Chain A
């Protein structure tokens, strides 16, 4: 017909192309946000909204000691898909700071917590970190949730010689090529977690294994380490199927059916948070749990969200800091946390508390809050964490805290599945040897 039509048609195809481009851009923009959510730190579970969480203002009943305060800067994700983790970080860090103040402060000085939102973006994390160091003159840096942000922040901490303790992000690169002496970690790192799973399951009755992991750096790395460990320890083990859904995939049915059709007897998965919750519900309806043995990162938030939807009795789960760990410190912490925030503490809360306490104990020991004193004292330092007495390894400042693996069991008390026993695979069995660490750093 007429030329106007042709012109319009041609324009329309351009628009369609543009639309596609815009969409791809939108998708790419979104991706780093989740993508950097490296390790385990996910989209959040739980039905209530983040805004519902009690305001983690300092406890007004605490008598804060007089004097120039020591400042702790926390840069974590308070918005975005993983905000729930950041809120738990903030709640617990504030609780730890209140405890310190109640006990007379650190070096007799009050402690103050300043919290900033990284938005789970490396550049924002770096900007906030610089601001905290230059303007607020913080004495210690905590955070973040995602490893992408952590790798960016650790450089700034090194440059400014500020102690930096990670409690949620845990890429092994922080201990290896990106390591510096002002850094420490109270989280078992990605390599440790995957090796713990391999060690734990190598002598199980299962030899035909399959894996399903989110299709990005964290999922690929953990799966590769797991496969390497388990096949090395048990040569009979065979990997019969590997599935890689996108992070945030809403429909996992085709993946689950493929796993079931592969003939695997057991399945390993570093899926986490929302993805794991979706997977669990959809897998249940496909008869998955009746047919195969399954092990995955069921941490507190995911278990709370799943509640009793799906029978998880006997499923083997791994996590970093289940609140059922049997230490007097943990018992006390859980009680006070529930009191204050009306929820059991997640792994992300427990580890942030440990990070603050580690720093306080190191500073008291050194008698000096400077970065230099921290770096000189923290290697080999023995301290008490919620997970029991432990120490910081000299070579990479990794806390000797293992990966917790246990069968799940229903708890009427907490109205959720909990870890039946909370015994870790010891850190010494699963971390890289000192030689390997030095080699990874090219030393």
Chain B
């Protein structure tokens, strides 16, 4: 196994991690603040991709792609706000099992909705000319779009960090993560904060769906595929922790890519071995908040 092949594989692992981070960050925030295991998070990922396809076809070209990246996460965030208000808010005081079932039901509803609107056939989201093709790297070629993905994830990570540490919204979220019951007492409008966080998480999922799409195929079922991996990421990183999500995404992405190289048929199993090892060592995840 030569060095350049390893480096190339590392890069493919990083691009996988990039998408996982963007999606799992939303999942982790929603769990951290609302304490809801949102299985329908994958639906927002899928809806984001499908709406982006329609919008970018309507507008066309680079403008279409950029418009999709800007507008679709906002649209899906709005959808998320409505969903939170109607389907989840009545359930906060109820059993967790009910909440889980509700988000599971949402996953099924959105799946059928997407099928009704876009049909069974796969669709394609085309990247702008600028991001297509490949660049030379380690004596081989590497897709330009993957570099863009890695860059986008880094920029987003910095932006999220700034949001969490430098804004009031971020401060409230952090407060909700560490002690939601105190939050109401100090005068924060908790229901509104929860709606905001849920919408924000949905927007991140949609953004992940849009960014992931040009490299692959937009089709029904991408919701469930992503949610399983995103859960592995947040379980490893610790629910509610942004740094944990980043580390979790890197671990999952790179473990998978290297696994393919050395133990092809057990690559996904290796990801779950890592997950189990983390759970045994730190049951609340690498950067999760331990039980108080």
Interface mask (A259-275 → B, CB under 8 Å = 1, otherwise 0): 01100000000000010
Whether A45 lies near B96 (C-beta < 8 A) is no
- How many chain B residues sit at the interface, stated as a range, is 35 or more
- How many whole Å from A270's CB to the nearest CB in chain B? 16
How far apart are the CA atoms of A9 and B268 in the complex, in Å?
28
Interface mask (B209-251 → A, CB under 8 Å = 1, otherwise 0): 0001001110111101101100100010001000000000000
Interface mask (B131-169 → A, CB under 8 Å = 1, otherwise 0): 011100000111111100000000000000000000000
The segment from B58-66, B85-93, B183-191, B257-265 that touches chain A is B257-265
Whether A47 lies near B260 (C-beta < 8 A) is no
How far apart are the CA atoms of A243 and B2 in the complex, in Å?
19
Whether A19 lies near B120 (C-beta < 8 A) is no
Interface mask (B260-282 → A, CB under 8 Å = 1, otherwise 0): 11001101100000000000000
The segment from B12-20, B67-75, B195-203 that touches chain A is B12-20
How far apart are the CA atoms of A253 and B275 in the complex, in Å?
23
CB nearest to B16 among chain A residues: A251
CB nearest to B213 among chain A residues: A250
- How many whole Å from B210's CB to the nearest CB in chain A? 14
- By secondary structure, the A interface counts as helix
How far apart are the CA atoms of A161 and B145 in the complex, in Å?
57
Confirm or deny: A135 has a beta carbon within 8 angstroms of a beta carbon on chain B: no
Whether A43 lies near B219 (C-beta < 8 A) is yes
Whether B134 lies near A254 (C-beta < 8 A) is no
Confirm or deny: A40 has a beta carbon within 8 angstroms of a beta carbon on chain B: no
Interface mask (A1-26 → B, CB under 8 Å = 1, otherwise 0): 10001101101111110111011001
Confirm or deny: A277 has a beta carbon within 8 angstroms of a beta carbon on chain B: yes
- How many whole Å from A262's CB to the nearest CB in chain B? 9
Whether B134 lies near A286 (C-beta < 8 A) is yes
The verdict on A250 contacting B264 (CB below 8 Å), with A13-B283, A18-B100, A45-B121 known, is no
> What residues of chain A lie closer than 8 Å to B222, measured between beta carbons?
250
CB nearest to A290 among chain B residues: B141
- How many whole Å from B83's CB to the nearest CB in chain A? 17
Confirm or deny: A255 has a beta carbon within 8 angstroms of a beta carbon on chain B: yes
- How many whole Å from B166's CB to the nearest CB in chain A? 29
Whether A261 lies near B100 (C-beta < 8 A) is no
Whether B292 lies near A5 (C-beta < 8 A) is yes
- How many chain A residues sit at the interface, stated as a range, is 35 or more
Confirm or deny: A361 has a beta carbon within 8 angstroms of a beta carbon on chain B: no
How far apart are the CA atoms of A111 and B185 in the complex, in Å?
76
CB nearest to A275 among chain B residues: B217
- How many whole Å from A190's CB to the nearest CB in chain B? 21
* Residue in B146, B264, B291 whose CB lies within 8 Å of A6: B291
> What residues of chain B lie closer than 8 Å to A51, measured between beta carbons?
119
How far apart are the CA atoms of A375 and B228 in the complex, in Å?
49
CB nearest to A20 among chain B residues: B231
Whether B121 lies near A254 (C-beta < 8 A) is no
Confirm or deny: B76 has a beta carbon within 8 angstroms of a beta carbon on chain A: no
* Residue in B142, B220, B260, B267 whose CB lies within 8 Å of A286: B142
From 83 to 109 in chain B, residues with beta carbon under 8 angstroms from any chain A beta carbon are 96-97, 99-100, 104, 107
The verdict on A254 contacting B96 (CB below 8 Å), with A5-B292, A22-B104, A51-B119 known, is no
Confirm or deny: A311 has a beta carbon within 8 angstroms of a beta carbon on chain B: no
CB nearest to A24 among chain B residues: B228
The verdict on A285 contacting B143 (CB below 8 Å), with A23-B227, A250-B217 known, is yes
- How many whole Å from B244's CB to the nearest CB in chain A? 15
- How many whole Å from B47's CB to the nearest CB in chain A? 16
The verdict on A278 contacting B119 (CB below 8 Å), with A22-B104, A250-B225 known, is no
Task: Report which B residues bind A (CB closer than 8 A).
Answer: 1-2, 5, 8-9, 12-13, 15-16, 19, 35, 37, 39, 96-97, 99-100, 104, 107, 118-124, 132-134, 140-146, 212, 215-217, 219-222, 224-225, 227-228, 231, 235, 239, 256-257, 260-261, 264-265, 267-268, 283, 291-292
21 A-B residue pairs with Cβ-Cβ distance under 8 Å, sorted by A, are A11-B96, A14-B96, A15-B97, A18-B97, A18-B100, A45-B121, A46-B122, A47-B124, A51-B119, A250-B216, A253-B12, A253-B215, A253-B257, A254-B16, A257-B261, A258-B260, A258-B261, A274-B219, A277-B122, A282-B216, A286-B141
Task: Report which A residues bind B (CB closer than 8 A).
Answer: 1, 5-6, 8-9, 11-16, 18-20, 22-23, 26-27, 30, 43-52, 79-81, 83-84, 215, 241-244, 246, 248, 250-251, 253-255, 257-258, 260-261, 274, 277-278, 281-282, 285-287, 305
